[in-house]
Amino acid sequence: MKNLLILFGLIFELLMLESFGENMSLNNNYASINSDQHSIKKNSLIDPNSSPENVMNTIFKAAKSGEVGVLKFLLPPFDDKIGKIPCDGDCKALCNAGNESMREELKGNYVSIEDFKKYFEKGKIIGVPTINGNRAQVNFVFGPNLERNETMNMQKINNKWYLSSF
């Protein structure tokens, strides 16, 4: 089991390198996380699940670039106890933008890549995330004119942050 987890971790890291590799550099430039309040050093590859801010910024970055493959890593792992992925339909739809094979399952929650880009490419975190144990809330604005205010709820599983509901 331990070897399987190590193998999964290596595969995950390789996928992250492919997804983020061309957008990240190993120099000491700074990248904005949200407005001018927060910044992080781009001195290594950013794990999209390492913080609630990184989860949200992964969504916004995917909307800007159109590279939506990384979004599936923002969904929590399948929970054998409840027999499903522990998040709401909105989060599943968000992380499957443009995935035609999910259209029927997602029903009215299905999001095209065009709509995903239109609504999330300008998105911004508002304020500082509220973290309470293994739960977090991140306030953000999104929409073509940043007219929609929302709170993204997240859960921490095995020291990684994942979407829960919004």
106-164 pLDDT tens trace: 988 899 999 999 999 999 999 999 999 999 999 999 999 999 999 999 999 999 999 99
Helix ranges, the chain (H): 2-20, 52-65, 89-94, 103-106, 113-120
How far is it, in rounded angstroms, from Cα 84 to Cα 125? Answer: 29
The 8-class DSSP code of residue 95 comes to T
Say what the pTM is. 0.73
CA distance 154 to 131: 9
Between these two residues, 166 and 12, which has the higher pLDDT value?
A: 166
Mean pLDDT of 57-72: 96
The model's pLDDT over 15-64, given as tens digits with 9 standing for 90+, comes to 444 444 433 332 232 233 333 333 333 323 689 999 999 999 999 999 99
Tell me which of 3.40.50.1820, 1.10.357.10, 3.10.450.50, 3.30.9.10 is the CATH number of domain 46-165.
3.10.450.50
Domain boundaries, the chain: 46-165
Q: What is the mean pLDDT of residues 63-90?
A: 95
pLDDT at 66 over 50: yes
Q: Compute the C-alpha angle 91/95/101, nearest 5°.
A: 110
Check if the beta carbon of residue 128 is closer than 8 Å to that of residue 138: no
pLDDT-based confidence at residue 4 (cuts at 50, 70, 90): very low
Handedness of CA 17, 23, 24, 27 (dihedral sign): positive
